[in-house]
Amino acid sequence: QVQLVESGGGVVQPGRSLRLSCAASGFTFSTYAIHWVRQAPGKGLEWVTVISYDGINKYYADSVKGRFTISRDNSKNTLFLQMNSLRPEDTAIYYCATGGGGYGEPVHYWGQGALVTVSS
């Protein structure tokens, strides 16, 4: 069955960096666009970024543009999120999520999430 497993979360000081990974299995990873969606504690869902199936096209929310970078390694079925210049407001559970090859598909598959806490 489809599995998305995030890792790399933790506690980090403001201004520092963190890299999340998402290991995928159970589907043809290289044909799916993959998103990161985050959820601050007790809050709603916020879309962060998406990468096309081939890694060429990337789009970001204004709140993370210039600080976060999404990438993927299709040979290893793995998605990454490099987060630089972290701020307290970036504190959230980060989910990798996908539904299909295009950007218009709903999310059929969610990971379990990785908690990122930005605090001094």
Provide, rounded to whole angstroms, the least separation between the CB of residue 97 and another protein: 8
Nearer to another protein (CB atom), residue 16 or residue 102? 102
For 84-109, b/e burial (b = at least 16 CB within 10 A) is eebeeebbbbbbbbbbbeeeeeeeeb
47 part of the interface to another protein, by CB under 8 A: yes
DSSP conformation letters of 49-90: EEE-TTS--EEE-TTTTTTEEEEEETTTTEEEEEE-S--GGG
64 touching another protein, by CB under 8 A: no
From 50, 51, 79, 81, residue interacting with another protein (rule: CB under 8 A): 50
Q: Does 38 bind another protein (CB under 8 A)?
A: no
Q: Is residue 66 involved in binding another protein (CB under 8 A)? A: no
- Going by C-alpha positions, the residue among 10, 20, 16 that lies closest to residue 81 is 20
Q: Does 29 bind another protein (CB under 8 A)?
A: no
Q: Is 113 in the site for another protein (CB under 8 A)?
A: yes
Asked if residue 80 binds another protein (CB under 8 A), the reply is no
Q: Contacting another protein (CB under 8 A), which of 62, 66, 75, 120?
A: 62
